[in-house]
Amino acid sequence: MNSLRYSIIYAVIRPEISEQLSVGLIIVDNQGIEVRYSQKKLSLLQGVFSEKESKFISRVINSLQRNKSLNSVDAVNYLTRYSNNLITVSPLQTIEIEASEQSKNWLFRNYVYDSTQKVGKRA
């Protein structure tokens, strides 16, 4: 069975208490490296950070996804060691499941954003 590796991209809200919000996912499999992120969560950061900071976070994550700048596991490992006061990346984790689109979607839904989940109103 193939293994699937992933790393979570976080926006650091309050570093002094390790408060962070998962906004993206780096997925590593036999086919390469893929970056997925939640546009909805990135837009929510505008209410938490200044305009300049939220644009910076969005630009960095968009750049990772668009430019394919992560081309090796070493590059991902570098990001896990590099962090600033706005973005951090978790160390690569490995799970022993088939590296399929379904499993990648499952990872994204569970660790970043589940668009199928409905939020109900309290009476």
pLDDT in tens, 106-116: 999 999 987 66
Task: Please name the residues in contact with 99: beta carbons below 8 A apart, sequence gap of 6 or more.
Answer: 2, 3, 4, 29, 30, 31
Task: Look at residue 117 and give its three-state secondary structure.
Answer: coil
Lookup result for tokens 């993206």: 24
pLDDT of 52 strictly over 90 = yes
**What is the pTM assigned to this prediction?**
0.86
pLDDT in tens, 60-97: 888 888 877 788 888 888 888 887 789 999 999 999 88
pLDDT in tens, 4-39: 999 999 999 988 888 999 999 999 988 889 999 999
* Residues 34, 48: Cα–Cα separation, whole Å: 27
pLDDT for the residue 35: 92
Residue type, position 11, single letter: A
* Residues 118, 98: Cα–Cα separation, whole Å: 28
Strands (DSSP E) found in the chain: 4-14, 19-29, 32-37, 87-89, 93-95
Domain boundaries, the chain: 4-100+107-111
* Residues 60, 72: Cα–Cα separation, whole Å: 18
- Measured CA to CA in angstroms, residue 38 lies from 60, 64, 112, 123 at distances of 13, 13, 7, 29
